[in-house]
Amino acid sequence: MATTLDFAELADHVGESLGSSEWFTINQARVQAFADATEDHQWIHLDQERAKSGPFGTTIAHGYLTLSLFPRLYREVVQLTGVGMTVNYGADKLRFTGPVPVGSKVRLSATLKSVEPKAGGQLATIGATIEVEGAERPAIVTDILFLLYPS
């Protein structure tokens, strides 16, 4: 169940956990589609036979594919009210800390790290961790920045 926050009250929730998304399965078809869209056809992502003898024993998702799932997973974590427009503003301290084997499940855990006035709106920094089910380390640790404008 998503946390609901209102634009006018965001600053009151700085430091709070926003929760986690549901688990989402990464399949080979999604990895192939991402490879085709980005023209990143490295064997570790696509060649299932060769990947069996590679460092992970299977194909893995692209790091940027995993990062690109943030908006989809974030919608399960937070619903914002009083927001007329959201602009992706960037990512700070982005680290790909572990592989995402094809067939595994990932989820997003998020924390509201800061909110500050900016350009007629608010700049929100979301501490984001994309976990891999059963893995020791998360796949991604980063701060995602959104510029939010009131409705």
Give, for all 151 residues of the chain, the pLDDT tens digit. Answer: 789 999 999 999 999 999 999 999 999 999 999 999 999 999 999 999 999 999 999 999 999 999 999 999 999 999 999 999 999 999 999 999 999 999 999 999 999 999 999 989 999 999 999 999 999 999 999 999 999 999 9
Q: 126: closest CA among 88, 81, 72, 100?
A: 88
Q: 104: closest CA among 41, 1, 30?
A: 30
Sign of the C-alpha dihedral computed for residues 12, 74, 63 and 102 taken in this order: positive
Whole-number pLDDT of residue 1? 78
Strand partners, 80: 5
Whole-number pLDDT of residue 51? 98
Contacts 24+ apart (CB under 8 A), 36-39: 38/62, 38/64
Q: What domains lie within the chain, and their CATH numbers?
A: 3-150 (3.10.129.10)
Whole-number pLDDT of residue 146? 95
Contact 81, 7 (CB under 8 A): yes
Dihedral angle computed from the Cα positions of residues 2, 5, 11 and 15, in that order, rounded to the nearest 10 degrees: -20
pTM score over 0.85: yes
Contact 107, 73 (CB under 8 A): yes
